[in-house]
Amino acid sequence: MALASVVNIASTSTAQAGILAQSKGAMTKAVIVDQALKIASSQGLEGLTVGHLAEVLAMSKSGVFSHFGSREELQLAVVREYYRRFEARVFQPALQEPRGLARLQKMINLWMQTSIQELSAGCIFISGAVEFDDRPGPVRDELVRSVQTWRAALKRAIEQAVEVGDLKTDCAPDAMLFQIYSYVQGLHHDARFLQISRSVDIATQSIQQIIDQNRSPRA
């Protein structure tokens, strides 16, 4: 679909045209970010160039720049969009479950589902962590903020599961968070880089083991 044809504003009044031009701008921006996210997932955020993006979208480079003033602004938009989708797919639905193990388990299950789907495309939180680990600046800050928000939500779910008596009172939430998060990273490494086909099963079982080890006897 050519971007120019997204909204046709030829035969409208000036007021309508103003609103439509605005929404056309927003839609174009959304199409650019969507495509940029696809590229960044497989090539990394640092592999994202305005030239390549413009080519894929059949736009001019200046057309892309008119929506995002710089490559960094585009990278930031990609990180925010990725987080928004992650939150909608993983975090929000889990909040429908009651506090405790049910919610924690739902968060982990949806996260694993998303991770498994991402094994072919790549995940910008995991590649971004390596790309930006010693590259200070706004993109690194935004990545850290997103990852920390998700980790804080997971930790809160673990703590709530202790409070309602589903997990043992001597369970260490920081260690449990580290262990589960490491297994999701290990899954990406083993499945994508080493192409070990059993990785999904081993990672799923290892995460379940962590939950079972911390489960309260009365849960």
Of 28 and 75, nearer to a copy of itself (C-beta) is 75
Give the phi and the psi of residue 66 in degrees, each rounded to 5: -70, -20
In the complex, minimum distance from the CB of residue 83 to a copy of itself, in angstroms, rounded to a whole number: 15
Q: What is residue 163's three-state secondary structure?
A: helix
86 burial (CB, 10 Å; 0-12 / 13-18 / 19+) is buried
In the complex, minimum distance from the CB of residue 15 to a copy of itself, in angstroms, rounded to a whole number: 49
In the complex, minimum distance from the CB of residue 5 to a copy of itself, in angstroms, rounded to a whole number: 33
- Residue whose token pair is 């409070």: 163
Of 107 and 210, nearer to a copy of itself (C-beta) is 210
In the complex, minimum distance from the CB of residue 169 to a copy of itself, in angstroms, rounded to a whole number: 18
Of 85 and 135, nearer to a copy of itself (C-beta) is 135
How far is the C-alpha of 172 from the C-alpha of 31, rounded, in Å?
Answer: 43
Of 118 and 166, nearer to a copy of itself (C-beta) is 118
Give the residues lining the site for a copy of itself (CB under 8 A): 42, 44, 122, 126-127, 129-134, 143-144, 147-148, 174-175, 178-179, 181-183, 185-186, 189-190, 192-194, 198-199, 202-203, 205-206, 213
Question: E strands of 105-219, at which residues?
Answer: none
Residues 92/101, Cβ–Cβ less than 8 Å: no
The tokens describing 99, both together, are 């506090």
In the complex, minimum distance from the CB of residue 129 to a copy of itself, in angstroms, rounded to a whole number: 4
Pick from 28, 45, 27: nearest CA to 36: 45
Of 17 and 147, nearer to a copy of itself (C-beta) is 147
